Amino acid sequence: MSQHAERSHWGSRWSFMLATAGSAIGLGNIWKLPYMIGVNGGSAFVLVFLLCIFFVGIPLMMTEILLGRRAQKNPFNGMQALAAEARVSRSWKYLGGVGMITGLLILGFYSVIGGWVLSYIYYAAVGTFTEINGAQSTANFNALLASPLTLLFWHTFFMLLTMGVVARGVNSGLEKANNILIPALFMILLILLGYSMSVGDMHLAAQFMFNPDFGKITPVSVLSALGHAFFSLSLGMGSVMVYGSYLQRNVSIACTTIYIALIDTALGLLVGLAIYALVFANHLPVASGPGLIFQTLPIAFGHMPAGSFIGTLFFILVAFAAWTSSISLVEPATAWLVENKEMKRSSAAWLIGITVWLLGVTVLLSFNEWKGIDIIFGLNVFETLDKLTSTILLPLGGLFMAIFAGYFMRKTHVQEELNLSNRAFDLWRFTNNIVAPIAIGAVFLYLFGVIH
Ligand code: PFF
């Protein structure tokens, strides 16, 4: 993909799919979903998450792509142009602006976790996991968290990888690599799943994740599930809009969206199963939080045949998935600085890179030196950024996009982009105009204490 002022288009529908899937598939699936399932009561969370993906995520992904393709611009200018076309207030451009900032806030912690993954490539390769048990694995992970300098090194490394690509604007090579790497990630997950099935407790894992227990659904699990549906599909901040702006006119937005959402969701659930089978077999705590995969998977790699090799490969693939997602997090802001502020692409990338790097330093300190420091409601820097972006900013961005496309744009313009049969169009309109806004609105009302 080229990001220069003139707008090039994806070579094929396939490259758009790969780029968007590359943005969607990342730490959200492999690191975050598994631990959120554990923290939020297992199946109760999974069920609500799936409902959110189908009834909110899929329609809103279609919305975000259609906005991008119609606008053919970065989110800020794009919303301005769409508002002009719909003859409504230009202030809609700020929706694009907030999205750009959200992306940078997410990258602030995403990059620190990306650093953890890089460090685990190294540990796997040098054989640290060989014959490791649960207690040793937890101790290794805690030692990593306790060392600000080690975290700083890996966070810096991850930021350099990300901004290096963004600065050059040569994402196309990376996107092509997705062609091999996403299937490779699936393959290695199947190996892991096979291993977990043979030594782990798959029965308990499946029960924990899929046995519907409606009684366990709480307002907090709904809130987290909705936020994670946005995070996992990269919705609500303009990444998908930017990618949509490069999509050719003759490609079906609906089919593409459904493929991406299915791949993204399936991948996350597979990782979850593999992990919980090990958690139950090794009597590890289910709700161990953000460290979950880093504590459980080494046990598997430490005992399986060719474990060091498979473990190294696994963490390389995860790092790659995180890398393609992190690039999409900065793409809206970079495109804006280049197109609106006439900055050179490399200067824009460095400016953003240094800002986010500094933010990341505050995040990594929240795992050690600043652990006890509360920013708001007893949350440290990492938790604040995570909650603020996933549960507030992304759903809010999605809500406004839905409202804009559903109530402000001309219906004919929307249908021109979606190009659906009448029935399918009505279904999209119903979910976009009514279901999604009510679901997101209800969650916000709860959050602000209006409904309990
Ligand atoms: N979807 C990515 C993941 O699951 O890891 C994270 C992400 C990327 C969120 C891009 C938002 C975004 F705009």
Mean pLDDT for 14-24 is 83
In tens, the pLDDT along 427-437 reads 999 999 999 99
Q: Per-residue confidence at 15, pLDDT binned at 50, 70, 90?
A: confident
Question: Residues 202-239: pLDDT tens digits?
Answer: 999 999 999 877 787 888 888 889 999 999 999 999 99
Residue 106 CB contacts under 8 Å (≥ 6 apart), including other chains: 231, 237, 329, 385, 389
384 in ligand 1 pocket by Cβ < 6 Å?
no
Atom of ligand 1 nearest to the CA of 394: 11
Q: What is the count of structural domains for the chain?
A: 1
Residue 1 inside a domain? The answer is no
| The pLDDT value given to residue 179 | 74
Residue 8 within any structural domain of the chain: no
Tell me the residue range of the domain where 142 lies: 13-447
Q: Determine contact, residues 100/330, Cβ cutoff 8 Å.
A: no
Closest by CA position to 269, among listed 195, 190, 209: 209
Asked whether residue 3 is domain-assigned, the answer is no
Residues above pLDDT 70, as percent of the chain: 95
Q: How far apart are CA 175 and CA 309, in angstroms?
A: 25
CB of 102 shorter than 6 A to ligand 1: no
Distance (Å) from CA 302 to ligand 1 centroid: 30
Take residue 345 and report the two structure tokens written for it: 């692409």
Q: b/e map of 79-115 (b: 16 or more CB within 10 Å)?
A: bbbbbeebeeeeebbebbbbbbebbbbbbbbbbbbbb
Does position 173 have pLDDT exceeding 80, yes or no?
Answer: no
Is the pLDDT at 11 greater than 80? The verdict is no
Q: What angle do CA 317, 323, 327 make, to 5 degrees?
A: 155
Give the per-residue pLDDT at 446. 83
Cα 126 to chain centroid distance, Å, stands at 29
Instruction: Confirm or reject: Cβ of 23 under 6 Å from ligand 1.
Output: yes
5: pLDDT strictly greater than 50: no
Mean pLDDT to the nearest integer, 59-73: 94
* Domain presence at residue 131: yes
pLDDT at 185: 86
Q: How far is the CA of 304 from the centre of ligand 1 (A)?
A: 31
So what's the pLDDT on residue 172? Answer: 62
Residue 104 pLDDT more than 60?
Answer: yes
Q: Which of 231, 391, 401 to mutate to test the pocket of ligand 1 (most atoms within 8 A of CB)?
A: 231
pTM for the whole thing? Answer: 0.92
pLDDT band of 49, cuts 50, 70, 90: very high
Give the pLDDT score at 242. 87
Q: What does the pLDDT read at residue 155?
A: 98
Q: Which residue has the tokens 């460090």?
A: 119
Task: Indicate if ligand 1 lies below 6 Å from the C-beta of 231.
Answer: yes
Residue 415 above 90 pLDDT?
yes
Rounded-to-integer distance, Cα 399 and Cα 437, Å: 6
- What's the whole-number mean pLDDT along residues 110-123? 98
Of 51-55, 117-121, 333-337, 448-452, give the lowest mean pLDDT range: 448-452
Answer whether residue 267 shows pLDDT above 60.
Answer: yes
- Structural domain contains residue 5: no
* pLDDT at residue 33 greater than cutoff 50: yes
Q: How far is the CA of 365 from the centre of ligand 1 (A)?
A: 23
- Yes or no: say if 138 and 300 are a contact pair by the CB < 8 Å rule: no
Kindly give the interhelix angle for 171-199 and 253-281, rounded to the nearest 10 degrees: 40
Residue 42 has pLDDT above 60, yes or no: yes
50 pLDDT higher than 90: yes
Does residue 6 lie within any of the structural domains? no
CB neighbour class for 170 (10 Å; exposed up to 12, middle 13-18, buried from 19): middle
Average pLDDT in the 46-68 region? 96
26 lines ligand 1 (CB under 6 A): yes
Residue 69 resides in a domain: yes
Q: Does residue 218 fall inside a structural domain?
A: yes
Min mean pLDDT across 65-69, 232-236, 240-244 is at: 240-244
Greatest mean pLDDT among 108-122, 185-199, 268-282, 309-323 lies in: 108-122
Which CATH number covers residue 355? 1.10.4160
Cα(248) to ligand 1 centroid in Å equals: 23
- Tell me, in angstroms, the distance from the centre of ligand 1 to residue 26's CA: 7
Residue 1 has what pLDDT? Answer: 40
Atom nearest to 24 CA in ligand 1: 1
CA 328 to ligand 1 centroid distance, Å: 8
Query: Cα(62) to centroid of ligand 1, in Å?
Result: 16
- pLDDT tens, position by position, 304-346: 888 898 899 999 999 999 998 999 999 889 988 988 898 998 9
Query: What's the 24 CA to ligand 1 centre distance in angstroms?
Result: 5
Which atom of ligand 1 lies at the shortest distance from residue 326's CA? Answer: 8
